[in-house]
């Protein structure tokens, strides 16, 4: 950190050029707002302000400051209140948007329900969905079909998430029950749109898309509440499930043995899992394929590890085998460093406070540009290059600069993502399996693949070809 934050006053910070009245709103609401903010670091420095229709936000690309702010949640900083307002309007109250003591209640329950022990119990579900997608990709490879990899991974993660969330066998991979998936996509798109809207038009006038949102919310709510009722009956008839729940909903209800949480709160946490588990994991998997498609030598290295670990099976059939896939895990971590699904986090100060010498008044809104330092040579050697080896325990000494604590792919501080272990299990298993069975290459030039910011950042226009290998 080169700046002396003690000498800085927020009101004197520089700002990129914007509109006189609406400020930087046109750039911020676009699908490339993350790139606008990162570009502004080059012109304004690592600490600057933007104006969104009269509301000032402080943007920070200083990792030490951002790390400290994240550690001070939920006491001194919280999510932007508007996010909570939008979600609660949709009937969603869970660990994602809870704050203060209420958050601690939700966090305890969800953290235990997504612990390593529970993820190990969920692993057979992950494996089953991986094998289903493997079969589908084999048919694509035989036909020489170009694959929209982002969409295929989205269908995969929907299947995994709904099965683990409440035991719903959706089979989106094979294009079954597409209506449920379409409802989810409608909701996720509107969450993103409403959180950045300067005026809540939907509260005064219901547009067509607002009416469609209500229909989607009603359909999802009806489905989830039916599963809550079913899960309660299952636990009552099978008490052993309290110790060995088969899905996240059963685990939540089992942990809620004192009845501290209402069905509304249970519903909110199930929906939060759907919200967090679909787009983020599918996006990360897609970026991994993007990089591996340009590095066939890395595909071969993942493949060799797979054959060493599970030589006679198509997939790593046990959670213990998955844990041995160290190079596949490094590939995943490197993709998350370069392309985290959440490039920034927006928080607001609960009180006047001083962080690393910087005075931050109450209600100050801050945008933490977490991805920016992850791509800087100050923290990682050859920071813009895809080098999975930097994450190997026996390889780090060859890299003079390696600061894994800078990476915030799963957030940071007390509010880091509780689904991290599940997401890493999904991604590591999937990548190992695919590299064991296929070579793959981009169908278009790497430059033609672009980033798009919706609720998360995902690759657009990413198409690949899979070729089956004869070694298995």
pLDDT by residue (tens digit) across 201-231? Answer: 999 999 999 999 999 999 999 999 999 999 9
Instruction: Give the mean pLDDT of 58-63.
Output: 96
Counting every residue written for the chain, the total comes to 472
For the cut 60, the answer to whether the pLDDT of residue 396 exceeds it is: no
Q: What is the pLDDT of residue 1?
A: 53
Please state, for a pLDDT cut of 90, what percent of the chain lies above it: 68
Q: What is the pLDDT of residue 48?
A: 96
Q: Which long-range contacts (CB under 8 A, 24 or more apart) does 390-395 make?
A: 390/330, 390/334, 391/329, 391/330, 391/333, 391/334, 392/326, 392/327, 392/330, 393/326
Q: What is the pLDDT of residue 191?
A: 87
For the cut 90, the answer to whether the pLDDT of residue 242 exceeds it is: no
| HSE value, Cβ hemisphere, 13 Å, CA-based, for 12 | 6
For the cut 90, the answer to whether the pLDDT of residue 7 exceeds it is: no
CA distances from 273 to 114, 167, 394, 422, 429 (A): 10, 13, 35, 11, 20
Where do the H-state alpha helices sit in 167-207? 178-196
Please state, for a pLDDT cut of 70, what percent of the chain lies above it: 97
The phi-psi region of residue 99 (left if phi > 0; otherwise alpha if psi is between -120 and 50; otherwise beta) is: beta
Q: Which residues contact 28 (CB under 8 A, 6 or more apart)?
A: 36, 37, 50, 52, 196
d(CA 329, CA 294): 18
Question: Average model confidence (pLDDT) for the chain?
Answer: 91
Q: What is the pLDDT of residue 33?
A: 86
Q: What is the pLDDT of residue 330?
A: 97
DSSP state of 78: E
* 22 contacts 13 by C-beta, under 8 angstroms: no
pLDDT by residue (tens digit) across 243-273? Answer: 888 889 998 898 887 777 889 999 999 988 8
Q: What is the set of domains in the chain, with CATH numbers? A: 107-339+412-468 (1.10.630.10)
Burial class of residue 287, CB neighbours in 10 A (0-12, 13-18, 19+): buried
For the cut 80, the answer to whether the pLDDT of residue 29 exceeds it is: no
Which of 51-60, 146-155, 181-190 is least confident?
A: 181-190
* 435 contacts 448 by C-beta, under 8 angstroms: no
User: Which of 184, 181, 183 lies closest to 170, judged by CA?
Assistant: 181
Instruction: Give the mean pLDDT of 120-142.
Output: 95
Q: Which residues contact 434 (CB under 8 A, 6 or more apart)?
A: 134, 137, 289, 440, 466
Q: What is the pLDDT of residue 123?
A: 95
Quick one: CA torsion of 90, 95, 99, 102, rounded to 10 degrees?
100
Higher pLDDT: 176 or 103? It is 103
Q: What is the pLDDT of residue 4?
A: 83
User: Which of 194, 124, 195, 133 lies closest to 158, judged by CA?
Assistant: 133
For the cut 70, the answer to whether the pLDDT of residue 398 exceeds it is: no
Q: What is the pLDDT of residue 315?
A: 96
For the cut 60, the answer to whether the pLDDT of residue 397 exceeds it is: no
Q: How many CB atoms lie within 10 A of CB 16?
A: 20
SS3 70: helix
Q: How many angstroms separate the first and last alpha carbons of the chain?
A: 50
Q: pLDDT band at 400, cuts 50/70/90? A: confident
Examine residue 67 and say whether the peptide bond preceding it is cis (omega within 30 degrees of 0).
no
Burial class of residue 14, CB neighbours in 10 A (0-12, 13-18, 19+): exposed
pLDDT by residue (tens digit) across 293-307? Answer: 999 999 999 999 999
CA distances from 393 to 235, 251, 302, 326, 400 (A): 43, 34, 16, 9, 14
SS3 459: strand
Complete edge-to-edge strand list for the sheet that includes strand 147-148: 147-148, 463-468, 438-442
């Amino acid at each position: 950190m080169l700046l002396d934050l003690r000498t800085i006053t927020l009101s004197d910070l520089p700002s990129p050029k914007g509109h006189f009245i609406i400020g930087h709103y046109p750039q911020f609401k676009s699908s490339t707002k993350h790139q606008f903010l990162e570009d502004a670091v080059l012109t304004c420095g690592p600490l600057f302000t933007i104006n969104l229709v009269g509301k000032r936000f402080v943007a920070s690309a200083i990792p030490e400051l951002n790390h400290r702010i994240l550690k001070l949640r939920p006491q001194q900083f919280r999510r932007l209140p508007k996010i909570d307002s939008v979600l609660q309007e949709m009937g969603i109250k869970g660990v994602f948007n809870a704050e203060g003591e209420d958050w601690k209640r939700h966090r305890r329950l969800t953290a235990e329900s997504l612990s390593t022990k529970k993820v190990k119990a969920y692993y057979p579900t992950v494996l089953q969905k991986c094998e289903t997608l493997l079969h589908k990709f084999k048919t694509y490879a035989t036909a020489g079909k170009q694959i929209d990899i982002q969409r295929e991974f989205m269908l995969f993660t929907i299947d995994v998430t709904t099965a683990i969330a409440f035991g719903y066998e959706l089979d989106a991979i094979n294009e079954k029950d597409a209506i449920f998936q379409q409802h989810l996509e409608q909701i996720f798109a509107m969450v993103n749109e409403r959180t950045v809207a300067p005026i809540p038009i939907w509260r005064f006038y219901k547009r067509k898309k607002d009416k469609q949102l209500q229909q989607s919310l009603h359909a999802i709510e009806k489905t989830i509440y039916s599963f809550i009722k079913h899960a309660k009956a299952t636990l009552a008839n099978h008490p052993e499930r309290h110790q060995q729940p088969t899905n996240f909903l059963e685990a939540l209800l089992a942990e809620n043995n004192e009845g501290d949480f209402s069905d509304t709160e249970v519903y909110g946490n199930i929906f939060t899992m759907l919200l967090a588990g679909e787009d983020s994991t599918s996006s990360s998997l897609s970026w991994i394929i993007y990089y591996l498609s340009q590095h066939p030598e890395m595909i071969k290295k993942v493949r060799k590890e797979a054959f060493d670990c599970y030589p006679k099976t198509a997939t790593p059939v046990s959670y213990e085998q998955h844990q041995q896939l160290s190079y596949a895990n490094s590939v995943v971590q490197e993709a998350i460093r370069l392309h985290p699904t959440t490039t920034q986090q927006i928080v607001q100060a609960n009180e006047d406070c001083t962080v690393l010498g910087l005075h931050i008044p109450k209600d100050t809104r801050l945008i933490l540009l977490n991805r920016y330092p992850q791509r800087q040579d100050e923290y990682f050697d050859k920071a813009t290059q895809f080098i999975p080896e930097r994450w190997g325990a026996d390889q780090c000494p060859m890299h003079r600069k390696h600061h894994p604590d800078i990476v915030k792919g799963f957030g940071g501080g007390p509010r880091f993502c509780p689904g991290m272990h599940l997401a890493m299990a999904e991604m590591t298993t999937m990548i190992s399996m695919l590299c064991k069975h296929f070579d793959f290459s981009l169908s278009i030039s790497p430059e033609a693949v672009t980033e798009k910011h919706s609720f998360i950042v995902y690759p657009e226009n990413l198409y690949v070809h899979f070729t089956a290998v004869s070694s298995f």
